[in-house]
Amino acid sequence: MSSDGPSDLTRRKAEARDWINAWRVRSGVPAPARPLSSPPAASAASPAASAPAEGGLGDYVKLVAGLASLYFLDIGIKKAFAAANIVFPSALGGMFGVVVALLAMGEGAAAKVLSLYMPSLNWIAKWLPLFYVASLVTLPLSLKGIAAGELAKIMAILATGTVATLLFTAQITVFIRGIVRTENKEIAKAKPASPFLPSHFAAWGAVAAGALAATAVGGAGSTLGAQMALPFGLAATVLGYLLGNAVPKTLQGLLHPVVVTALAANGGAALHGAVYGVAYDTSLKMYYSKGAGLMGAGDFLMAFLGCVIVSFGFRIYQQRETMKRHYPEILGATLLSAIFSFFSTAFAAKALMLSPDLARALIPRSVTVALALPIAERLEAPLSITAAAVLLQGLLGANFGPNLMSAVGIKDTIARGLAAAGTAGGLGTASLTSKEPEALPFCALSYSLVGILSTLLAATPAVRAALIGIVG
């Protein structure tokens, strides 16, 4: 007779249901009218459910079709928001729209849609950091003109603020969960992405070598050399990401793949600029022209960031039951994180006697750039400094955040996701989910909710007056 207890039997049944449901998703087999159920926390993020379907040509067709449809969906949403004069970031609107659409169509139809998009979702998860590094590559341009003494104070505020906000958000998440007594079901670890192959290095190395050779042949100031900035910059960025992932895990606490990617791309831009015959600053502007010149590698990657964010809606939908169960801590932690970030920054700037305009610029340091700039406008702060502060905090959070949370014993997936993104935005998201993809839905919700709630706080006259009263 079996000695398995009721809990073992329940677990085995759940594993069997998960396997069957995952097989249906991979194979495109429609779910039965009454779908097999499984514990929400396990099924939504189970390794099988999040793994790419194993197959051949069909998966590549799904990959290309999924990416193309996400790209054009993002463009359509941008145009709709612009036509309606909506200032809210269209990509975040699209992300929430995807969640609503999947909920509205029902579980059966949603499962089929997820099956179609799974190859593209897994591809995005594998390469996610690439779409966030462009602004980091050109960060030196944003820091020009700031006095050394003031820059040192800014870095001190951002460094301490990153640690404080990260730990506060994670701990308050667990604290709220304890108060409301939410049942905490373990979230299964997602299957790691397939490893990068030597062929990746060889292919992108060939692109880099060919583009640089063409630049040298074209000569200084040539049209050909300018056109080669895009392929060479893109190859340097991808090679940096490949190298970053090859760094031993023992060193990734100091050199996270996101940081290695940015450094390699920055060095690549400088190398191309030297061959092309332009100064360092100009080479960075060629890498990410922001519409002021030919499309560079940064412009190319940023063109896809919107559809990447829209795709997060699928991941949030997959964790819908977990979100529903944990909504008190998700809403509570993001609201308190936004308040803590605002006021801790103001008091720290006051303590260090940072000039009032720079202090006001740092207040929205934990908010995604698209929403931080309107907040800075309300506070009458210099926008360029706010953008630089958000990037610097993102860099600090991306490089040190995951290991810092591990060092102090924060292992909870929800707490880690909310803290990483609520502190370091998109870069924090890219950093954490490159190794912990199961945290992506919570990261996506965190940096969107922190941005929205921070915007509402800054629009409140009493809050705005209190912040300005502190920093002057």
Give per-residue pLDDT as tens, 400-423.
Answer: 999 999 999 999 999 999 999 999
Regarding whether 465 and 330 lie in a shared domain, the answer is yes
Closest CA to 398 of 264, 253, 263, 297: 253
Q: Is residue 360 part of a domain?
A: yes
Is 88's pLDDT higher than 90?
Answer: no
Determine the pLDDT at residue 32.
46
Provide, for the chain, the percentages of residues in helix, strand and coil under a 3-state DSSP scheme, each rounded to the nearest 5.
75, 0, 25
Residue-wise over 178-213: b if at least 16 C-beta within 10 A, else e? eeeeeebeebbebbebeeeeeeeeeebeebbeebbe
Q: Is residue 305 part of a domain?
A: no
Determine the pLDDT at residue 323.
84
Regarding whether 253 and 128 lie in a shared domain, the answer is no
Regarding whether 433 and 359 lie in a shared domain, the answer is yes
Mean pLDDT (the chain, rounded): 85
Q: Is residue 454 part of a domain?
A: yes
Looking up tokens 């998440």 gives: 173
Determine the pLDDT at residue 54.
44
Regarding whether 162 and 116 lie in a shared domain, the answer is no
155 pLDDT tier (thresholds 50, 70, 90): very high
pLDDT one-digit tens code per residue, 237-288: 999 999 998 888 777 667 788 889 999 999 999 999 999 999 999 999 999 9
Amino acid type, 93: G
What is the token pair recorded at 32? 């039965």
Is 199's pLDDT higher than 70?
Answer: yes
Q: Is residue 207 part of a domain?
A: yes
Q: Is residue 67 part of a domain?
A: yes
Q: Is residue 193 part of a domain?
A: no
The last residue of a domain, from among 318, 335, 365: 318
Q: Yes or no: say if 337 and 418 are a contact pair by the CB < 8 Å rule.
A: yes
- Residue of 36 and 442 predicted with greater confidence: 442
Determine the pLDDT at residue 297.
95
Regarding whether 203 and 182 lie in a shared domain, the answer is no
Regarding whether 429 and 343 lie in a shared domain, the answer is yes
Is 390's pLDDT higher than 50?
Answer: yes
Regarding whether 121 and 222 lie in a shared domain, the answer is no
Q: Is residue 300 part of a domain?
A: no
Regarding whether 123 and 23 lie in a shared domain, the answer is yes
Q: Is the pTM of this model over 0.85?
A: no
* Mean pLDDT score, 442-454: 90
78 pLDDT tier (thresholds 50, 70, 90): very high
Which of 50-59, 84-93, 106-115, 224-233 bottoms out in mean pLDDT, i.e. has the lowest?
A: 50-59
**Domain total of the chain:** 3
C-alpha 44/C-alpha 320 separation (Å) is 8
Determine the pLDDT at residue 188.
64
Determine the pLDDT at residue 17.
62
Regarding whether 461 and 437 lie in a shared domain, the answer is yes
Is 315's pLDDT higher than 80?
Answer: yes
- Kindly list the distances between the CA atom of residue 376 and the CA atoms of 232, 253, 457, in Å, as whole numbers in the listed order: 35, 32, 12
Range of the domain at 79: 17-30+40-132+311-318
Proportion of the chain above pLDDT 70, given as a percent: 86
C-alpha 35/C-alpha 26 separation (Å) is 15
* Mean pLDDT score, 81-98: 90
Determine the pLDDT at residue 38.
38
Which of 115-129, 177-191, 235-249 bottoms out in mean pLDDT, i.e. has the lowest?
A: 177-191
Determine the pLDDT at residue 43.
36
11 pLDDT tier (thresholds 50, 70, 90): low
Determine the pLDDT at residue 190.
66
Determine the pLDDT at residue 127.
92
Q: Is residue 297 part of a domain?
A: no
C-alpha 464/C-alpha 62 separation (Å) is 48
Regarding whether 213 and 72 lie in a shared domain, the answer is no
What is the token pair recorded at 112? 């089929």
C-alpha 263/C-alpha 257 separation (Å) is 10
Regarding whether 401 and 260 lie in a shared domain, the answer is no
End-to-end CA distance of the chain: 76
HSE of 163 in the Cβ direction (CA atoms, 13 Å)? 8
Determine the pLDDT at residue 70.
95
Regarding whether 237 and 155 lie in a shared domain, the answer is no
